[in-house]
Structure 1
Amino acid sequence: MLNDVLTAILDFVEGVAPWLRILIASVAIALETSVLIGLIVPGDTIVIVSAMGVTSVLEGVILGLFVVLGALVGESIGYAIGWWVGPHFRASRVGRWIGEKNWQRAENYFERRGGIAIFLSRFLPVMHSLVPMIVGMSKYSYRRFLAWTIPACVLWSGIYITISASAAGTYRELGSSAHYAGYVFVGIIVAGLLLLFAGKKLLQWREARHMKD
């Protein structure tokens, strides 16, 4: 039963043209940080689903490149919003909905950690949506901003695409001959997500302690 469900899901994802999956993933990631959709719908989920349709290393690399490009476009837009209208946006209805506490946390985080905050924010909930705007508001050099955020985006996309594509690839190899293939697929995804969740929580805890010191 599980195999049938997973096969149907993977067939559906693979049935979507690769260029369309790549477009959806890259646009979703761009929107995540540029208009704060990531505060409601995590871009991680869209990348994971898109990567399930990856059937070759080349396709995975192309997906990764476009996801990184989408992330950089989104963060650059967030940076530009912060640079040009940051204080007004912060005081707007949307800014108030985000909460002054979150804005202050992001601001304090960047003031304390500088470039490291830009890198690590890609892996921190809420922070990855707010830090680019805070950096723009501070008039921090855009070139230095890119120098910190590019490697973070590459590492982030590589981790998610590798986990999802590896799980789907393993299932494809075992699906036709092993009844437990579905459990292997679920196990890889769950284990990967748990490790990522634990890593994020540990990072979040350490950074929270650092901000209190």
Structure 2
Amino acid sequence: MHLINQIDLAIREFIAWAATLNPWLCVLAAMVLLVLETSLFIGVLIPGEATLLLTVAVLGAGWAPALFAAAVVGNLIGSSGGYWLGRLVGPGLRNTWAGRKIGDRRWRTAEQVVQESGGRALITMRFVAVVHAVVPAVVGTLRMPYRRFLGLVAIAAMLWAGVQTAVAVAFGEAARAVGYGWTMVALTIAAALAAGLFVIRGVRRQASRRSAPEPVDSCAGRNAF
């Protein structure tokens, strides 16, 4: 418990320091982190939910509209980068050094989802950690028209940003109202994310037992679009 209190104190001190900065600088920093969170190679490391939670904690609920806009723009830029990388490099992107670092399992998951759901995967997978950063590159390798890609990603970005901004505001207000430390809030979110990933993995295991995943056929992928 002493360690948790120390971590909580460190988070509070960071929030107090960040609150002395120009608010628009905080919004810009959040947008940059969200660009990285949706990019292909860095997106597997940066949690976008934590970025919004901390920024709302620093700026307050009054800045939620600006953070929503920053989250949408950040999502569009990051996802577009993955799309164009996939489109320009092609399927060989998976076999590059950086592509291998992402992991074959993540590539297979993203490819299978795109094969089964087509462009809708850009919307549904935005809420799935890690895989959401890989799906735009897979779609790019299948050469979905960019205009259609951008429209679908915009829908996904607005849905994700709306939900996550609302959650960040709700958690922030609740923490202030009942006096919970930010560490406990962060641990609660981490536990919820872990539970969600556990459920998703369980569903995937059951699905894989019914039918083994098949490699994506490029023609089939294009037809899905």
How far the C-alpha of 1:19 sits from its partner, in A, is 1.1
Residues 1:98 and 2:96 are matched in the alignment: no
Please report the TM-score for the alignment, with normalisation by the length of structure 2: 0.76
- For 2:12 and 2:38, locate their aligned partners in 1 and report how far apart those are by CA, in whole Å: 33
Aligned 1:87-166 pairs, distance under 5 A: 87-166=91-170
C-alpha distance in structure 2 between counterparts of 1:110 and 1:199, whole Å: 21
Identity %: 29
Instruction: Give aligned pairs, total.
Output: 205
Say whether the 8 Å CA contact 1:163–1:189 is kept in structure 2.
Answer: no
> TM-score of the superposition, structure 1-length normalised?
0.79
Contact map agreement 2:53 2:168 (CA 8 A) in 1: yes
Measure, in 2, the Cα distance between the counterparts of 1:192 and 1:102: 23
Alpha-carbon separation, structure 1, partners of 2:83 and 2:120 = 16
Aligned counterpart for 2:85 among listed residues 81, 84, 89: 81
User: How far apart are the structure 1 equivalents of 2:67 and 2:186?
Assistant: 19
Match of 2:44 among 39, 43, 51: 39
- 5+ residue gaps in structure 2? 212-225
Q: Which residue of 2 aligns with 1:27?
A: 32
Q: Is the CA contact (8 Å cut-off) linking 2:39 and 2:82 kept in structure 1?
A: yes
Of 67-76 and 144-153, the range deviating more from structure 2: 144-153
Aligned 8 A contact 1:67 1:157 in 2: yes
CA distance in 2, matches of 1:171, 1:128: 29
Contact 1:106/1:134 (CA < 8 Å) preserved in 2? yes
1:103/1:7 Cα in 2 relative to 1: closer, same or farther (>3 Å)?
Answer: closer
Question: Is there any run of 5+ residues in structure 1 with no aligned partner, and where?
Answer: 175-179
Q: Deviations over 1:122-175 (max 9, x none)?
A: 111221111000001111122222332222222222233223333334455x5x
Aligned to 2:223: none
- C-alpha separation in 1, matches of 2:23 and 2:54: 12
What's the RMSD between the two structures over aligned residues?
2.9
